[in-house]
Amino acid sequence: MNRKKAVVLGLGVLAIILFFVLDLGRFLTLEALKAHRQTLADLYATHRVATVAGFMAIYIVQTALSLPGAAILSLAAGALFGSIMGTVYANIAATVGATLAFLVTRYLLRDAVLARFGDKLEGLNRELERRGLNYLLFLRLVPVFPFFLINLAAGLTRLPLSTFVIGTMIGIIPGGFVYVNAGASLATIDSLAGIASPRVLGSFALLGLFALVPALYGKWRDRRGSDRVGPSQ
């Protein structure tokens, strides 16, 4: 590993250590968000660009380092910026953060990730390489695997960067909007568990199945073609 890669990796590890040592997670709770909502709203009223930039920077770092707090940040986006613009800011930041995690895995942490998650990622990697965008959309829409694990898995494949960015940006819109929209009515939320109801999760699953249809059709067509060729050989 060259010096530049070592520096990047060292900074990432240091950031993760500081997050837990300083207990920064205490600021990423529903209670903390409610308690500081007015302060944040006042800050946004007087320093709009700086507040948006600061929010997006925090979201990017959180996603890139796979730290806890994504749901709270999405709620904060809705509480501060409203449902539409909050979704836009959160979506861009989450996509950038996921892309950084993807790139770091591909170019810096490949061996370490394989050693830690190799068995769990084998099937995921295989489908991502074969089905590309459609399978990535399915993974983003249906919360079968953790968000950070998909970033790591994709980084180990030959999936093009552009496909990863497009699939991530589109695939996280529905789920992101649910949380951001809920944040716009923050006072009515008592717990995170009630936001993603079974009905909402079922809707995501249906969307994911639609995204997977082309991949399933391609798999069926390939299998049918191989069956036809087999007897003649």
Please determine, for residue 132, whether its predicted confidence score (pLDDT) is greater than 70.
yes
Asked whether the whole model's pTM tops 0.85, one would answer: no
pLDDT of residue 200: 58
More confident residue, 118 or 10: 10
Q: What is the pLDDT of residues 188-233, one digit of tens each?
A: 788 777 676 555 556 556 666 665 666 555 565 656 655 555 555 4
Please determine, for residue 140, whether its predicted confidence score (pLDDT) is greater than 80.
yes
pLDDT of residue 36: 93
Q: What is the pLDDT of residues 161-175, one digit of tens each?
A: 999 999 999 989 988
**Rounded mean pLDDT of 91-99?**
97
**Rounded mean pLDDT of 20-43?**
93
**Rounded mean pLDDT of 28-49?**
94
The DSSP code sequence of the chain is --HHHHHHHHHHHHHHHHHHHTTGGGGSSHHHHHHHHHHHHHHHHH-HHHHHHHHHHHHHHHHHTT-S-HHHHHHHHHHHH-HHHHHHHHHHHHHHHHHHHHHHHHHTSHHHHHHHHHHHHHHHHHHHHHHTHHHHHHHHHSTTS-HHHHHHHHHHS---HHHHHHHHHHHTHHHHHHHHHHHTTGGG---GGGTS-HHHHHHHHHHHHHHHHHHHHHHHHHHHHHHHHGGG-
Task: Sketch the domain layout of the chain as residue ranges.
Answer: 3-223
